[in-house]
Amino acid sequence: NLEGKARDAGLPPIAISPEVGNLLSLLVKTTDARCIVEVGTLGGYSTTWLARSMQPNGMTFTIDKSKKFAQFARTQLQEAGLSDRVEIRVGEALTELPKLCQELGPASVDVVFLDAMKREYPEYFRVVRDCIKPGGLLLIDNCLGVSNWWIDEEGHPDRDGADQANRLVAADDDFDSCAVPLREGLLIARRKSRHC
């Protein structure tokens, strides 16, 4: 049990729920994903859901600022037989994500999953937006809140970041989006196909 191992290793209990993981898996399968970008690896729980659901020749790139979390995730992904399908990058997301997007190029990513510093969500979206291919998905966890704030409680920097990201995506004419009230909210956005 990955959640139990993460708890025993001293990782914070903030991973996605099994229900959110199952939804992520279903959504990834609808895209025939070969390239996934995740921001916020933690113990690799969501990474496992993502990597198992993509095409066999695909690659999931995941970013976390914590060396401890990254090492724990590497071990778990190896035990799950997924280490050849996941590349973990360690560093601040706003440093690593632009580098990764430059390497991958525009319209190259099938699925983006954001689950890191909520106050940085708007900037993550700005950085990764053009990397998402037409028909690709942007998935944002905690779009409605976390344990210490909720989306209608103004003034918390993480709440404000999540709210701003929600509004940025909703106002972007290149995306169709909705917020699903599962657990603490999952924003699901699909980049429109060019012919639409």
CA–CA distances in Å: residue 89 to residues 15, 36, 168, 169: 18, 13, 26, 26
Q: Give residue 9's pLDDT.
A: 67
Task: Kindly give the confidence (pLDDT) of every residue in the chain, 196 residues in length, as a single tens digit, with 9 standing for 90 and above.
Answer: 766 676 666 666 656 788 999 999 999 999 999 999 999 988 889 999 999 999 999 999 999 999 998 998 999 899 999 999 999 999 999 999 999 999 999 999 999 999 999 999 999 999 999 999 999 999 999 998 877 667 777 888 888 999 999 999 999 999 999 999 988 899 999 999 865 5
Q: Whole-model pTM? A: 0.91
* C-alpha to C-alpha distance for 188 and 97, rounded to whole angstroms: 20
Q: Give residue 14's pLDDT.
A: 58
* C-alpha to C-alpha distance for 22 and 79, rounded to whole angstroms: 20
Q: Give residue 34's pLDDT.
A: 98
- Strand pairing class (175-180; 132-141): unpaired
